[in-house]
Amino acid sequence: MEKSRMFEKKKRKMVRIRKVMMVLMGLFVLGLFAMNFYISKIDIRSLEEALPQPTIIYDREGKMASKLSVSKMEAISINEMPEHLLQAVIAAEDKRFYKHHGIDYQGILRAMWRNVKAGEFVEGGSTITQQLAKNVFLTNEKTLKRKWEEFFIAKKIERTYTKDEILEMYLNRIYFGEGAWGVKKAAEIYFGKDVSKLTVSESALLAGLIKAPSALSPIKHYDQAIERRNLVLSLMKEQGYINEKTFLEAKKEKMVFEKKQLDPYKGKYPYYVDHIIDEAINKYGLTENEVLFGGLHIYTEMDQHIQQAVEEVYKKEALFPESTNDQLLQSGTVLLDAKSGGITALVGGRGEHVFRGFNRATQLKRQPGSTMKPLAVYTPALEEGYRIFDLLKDQPFDFNGYQPKNYDHQYRGTVTMYEAVINSLNVPAVWLLNEIGLHKGIDAVERFGIPLNKEDHYLGLALGGLKEGVSPLQMAEAYSVFPNEGVKTEAHAITKIVDMNGETIAEWEPKSTKVTSKEVAQKMTFMLEGVIEEGTGKRAKMAGRDIVGKTGSTQVPISGVDGVKDQWFVGYSPQLVCAVWLGYDHTDQNHYLKTTSSQTVSVIFREIMSEALKDVPPMSFTYPKLKAEKRQLEKFHEQKKKEKKQKKEMLREKKHPKEKPHKHGKKHGKKDKRKKD
């Protein structure tokens, strides 16, 4: 009886235990199901996105010119990493990497035991997969919630990617100190070499940095870094990755740390690169992210010799008027190939460059002053049949309240068109535009590629009176018509864009339009040559070179201030067009220019062109159809010189009359030979 009760009691206990076990197993299964469901919903697609790759810029000869990289990381394939580097990282960070499934339970227990024995935290239990999860998706906060998130994300990563893929992502994203994100940057910064060229000793040192990149930096803490390297080498030997001989050789290897500076191509030619980004976006429809992070290969019209030369000119402080203390005097310039329209060089400012900042070469909007005269007045006048020796009126006029004045406030009565051009006279230009019809000037300016507003439709157009203004790029493109025999080819920097897979995704298609006749273009060039030979642009003259151009300036629009807001020089050789602007970003009563274009910007233009054409054989302008007009002009100028000389003689005689002889016969003992009345 007693035995029977004991049996029943034991039986009931076993039933309860079985029930508890079943409940626990059920809960465990439900927990596993819930965990798997939760893991399946974790989004780790950002790992699938390729790491940003630098975009490479090439010059017109296909040589690398610049590298566009705003990312702190550069990814490489695991196949480009030496095997001993992978082994060093695994030995130091996660020796069971290829055995566990994201969480190394043995490693956790081992770390706990060692930490208890040491009485302090000496070892962590995080796997490479967990570190990747934390670095990409989580913060550094030390909370239980964050550890659980790390656990689940690591599991999802292991289920989604192979071990080699995980290791590749990890090594491309981990921080190695001294600004080196990813193993590629680390190899460059510490050893000045490609990652594939690392030695066993160098790989061990980099692997050792992962634990504490700042505290173990060999640049700042050499002894600690070497000690850590030796520990990693010992771990590699223990785990069978290297033998005793390799271990000893690697320990003896002398470490040479170069602390390599920035990539020499990164950030080179910044203003030109800024324009390339804009052109890729605006002309070819790429997004900014595609250009900045897409690993593109962009081929351009840049001439590195000319680009470097222009940048050097902009460093010569003596060429530029002195700035005020609170604002730097600014400038922008563009150089174009006269035939192709290719932008060979571009500088958008002085002083420190701001990435994707204001580019004065392309984004500036300022009134062009007298550089507009050839476009708005003299080209359409020549098209209407005016000749370079025809006389234009230079006298006071009132055009419905608009009263133009010359820069010197003088009037000359009449002047030839040639004289009006070379001396940059305002009144004859406005008078001539009125004579041919304002609509003719408007049409011509728009043909040259410069858009106008309704507010620009007045006679002030002759003197560059535009509401919005123009950029050096627009002026260079417009003036390229003259050396290109009346044809305008659209200005451009990019010739081709190739993606990281080698496919051409954009290519330049030449767009040319006939603006005026070859004969008119030659006549304008002849007159603009006079600007430099004997007019306002004399200081732009270059020995042994045919250079032509036009000065321009605008007045400060502030009552009581007699100064210049903008200075321009736009000119060209047979091969190259150059437009230069000079002025302050913000003009007021304290910030303006006190010199003329002929004194400053003409000299800057000359320096730029001298350097740009240094190794280019000289070419000459020819004017075969201008012989008759040139003869007529010379004849007129000879007559004018003769009249001027006679006028001077008459004034001299009036001021200093000749002494009259005595009336009574003798002077100095000589007879008076004058006839009597």
- Residues designated as active site: 93, 370
Distance CA 6, CA 212 (A): 64
Residue 383: count of CB within 10 angstroms of its CB: 16
Question: What interhelical angle do 244-252 and 222-238 show, nearest 10?
Answer: 170
Query: Quick one: residue 660, left, alpha or beta (phi over 0 = left, psi -120 to 50 = alpha)?
Result: beta
d(CA 242, CA 232): 11
Question: Hey, what are 19's tokens?
Answer: 């029930």
Using DSSP, state whether 278 is helix, strand or coil: helix
What span, in angstroms and rounded, lies between the C-alpha atoms of 40 and 630?
A: 86
Q: Are 291 and 68 a contacting pair, CB within 8 Å?
A: yes
Dist CA 621 CA 546 (whole Å): 7
636: Cβ contacts below 8 Å, ≥ 6 apart: 389, 416
Alpha carbon distance 153, 158 (integer Å): 9
Separation of alpha carbons 224 and 208, rounded Å: 10
**Cα separation of 429 and 436, whole Å?**
11
Q: What is the DSSP letter of 516?
A: S
Burial class (CB in 10 A: 0-12, 13-18, 19+), 593: buried
DSSP count for the chain of H helices, then E strands: 22, 16
- Identify any residues that bridge with 308 across adjacent strands, giving them in sequence order: none
- Residue 470: name the closest of 595, 578, 385, 368 by CA: 368
Q: State the sign of the Cα–Cα–Cα–Cα dihedral 122, 126, 127, 131.
A: negative
CA dist 613 → 155, 303, 577, 657 (Å): 64, 11, 11, 56
DSSP string computed for 169-184: HHHHH-B-STT-BSHH
Burial code (b: 16+ CB inside 10 Å, e: under 16) for 95-113 equals bebeebebbbeebeeebee
DSSP-based three-state secondary structure for 559: coil
CA distance 612 to 305: 7
In this structure, what are the phi and psi dihedrals at residue 91, rounded to the nearest 5 degrees?
-60, -40
- Give the SS3 label for residue 609: helix
Integer Cα distance of 43 and 163 in angstroms? 19
